[in-house]
């Protein structure tokens, strides 16, 4: 199961909140996943983000949900789609204390994304990035972090040794290097090529 569990930290085991895929059409991707009888949430438009989003998985009983994101207008997600195309966009981690979590990452290789200067103040959310690393990290402070089984259980993707070390610094161990240029995502015994989802 995808998990966040930093070494030498006082916080208890904490699973990921979600894994986000940027796709051309959330409805098309949801219909592919629906064939596997996964729980599909409603499509919601987020004006401020400029996206349409659908969660896949049961948010009441599971963590590590799959978040499908479709850019609807100009903004960071449309730019990411233009620059990198569809695929894995970010992992989201819930923490009890955002400031101490970020302090503990010193020397890990992650950089605080400039957007975080605004989001930390306004939504207690930080974004971590590193040029050349194929995903962002979203870290959100919560009043409570519940330990629930993960819907997304493992991800296999092209990673460098540096990427693996940076993920390990966050306590993420079930994102593993792919032996090819393909990325795979695992749900309850189902292994799907991420490219086939869009």
The domain locations on the chain are 12-197
Q: Which two tokens stand for residue 177?
A: 């290097």
Q: Is the pTM of this model over 0.85?
A: yes
Mean pLDDT of 168-194: 91
pLDDT of residue 13: 38
> What pLDDT score does 144 carry?
84
Half-sphere exposure of 182 (CA within 13 A, CB side): 11
Residue 135: pLDDT above 80?
A: yes
Tell me the CATH class for 12-197: alpha beta
91 CB neighbour count, 10 Å cutoff: 25
Check if the beta carbon of residue 192 is closer than 8 Å to that of residue 151: no
**39-47 long-range contacts, Cβ below 8 Å, gap at least 24?**
45/72
Task: Name the β-bridge partners of 3.
Answer: 15
| Range in 1-15, 35-49, 74-88 with the lowest mean pLDDT | 1-15
Predicted confidence (pLDDT) at residue 6 exceeds the cutoff of 90? no
Q: Is residue 34 pLDDT above 80, yes or no?
A: yes
Asked if residue 9 has pLDDT above 90, the reply is: no
């Amino acid at each position: 199961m995808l998990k966040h569990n930093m070494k030498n930290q006082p916080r208890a085991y904490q699973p990921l909140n979600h894994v986000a895929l940027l796709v051309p059409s959330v409805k098309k991707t949801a219909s592919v996943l629906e064939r596997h009888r996964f729980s599909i949430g409603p499509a919601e438009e987020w004006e401020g983000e400029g996206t349409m989003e659908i969660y896949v998985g049961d948010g009441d009983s599971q963590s590590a949900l799959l978040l499908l994101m479709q850019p609807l207008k100009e903004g960071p997600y449309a730019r990411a789609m233009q620059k990198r195309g569809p695929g894995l966009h970010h992992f989201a981690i819930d923490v009890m204390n955002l400031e101490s979590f970020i302090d503990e990452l010193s020397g890990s290789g992650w950089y605080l994304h400039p957007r975080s200067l605004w989001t930390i103040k306004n939504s207690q959310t930080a974004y971590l990035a590193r040029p050349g690393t194929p995903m962002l990290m979203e870290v959100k402070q919560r009043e409570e972090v519940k330990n629930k089984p993960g819907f997304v259980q493992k991800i296999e993707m092209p990673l460098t040794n540096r990427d693996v070390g940076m993920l390990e610094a966050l306590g993420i161990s079930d994102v593993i290097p792919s032996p090819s240029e393909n990325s795979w995502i695992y749900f309850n015994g189902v292994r799907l090529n991420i490219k086939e989802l869009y």
